Amino acid sequence: MRFPISLRASLSFSLVGLAVVVALMAIGVHLTLAVRGVVTSSAERSRALAQQSVWLAGRALQSSTVPAETAIRRNRALRALFESTTAGAA
pLDDT of amino acid 88: 62
Once rounded to an integer, what is the mean pLDDT over residues 80-88?
74
Phi and psi at residue 86, to the nearest 5°: -70, -30
CB 46 within 8 A of CB 38: no
pTM value? 0.59
Closest by CA position to 81, among listed 51, 45, 49: 49
pLDDT of amino acid 3: 77
pLDDT at 90 > cutoff 70 = no
Distance CA 35, CA 41 (A): 10
Higher pLDDT, 6 or 21: 21
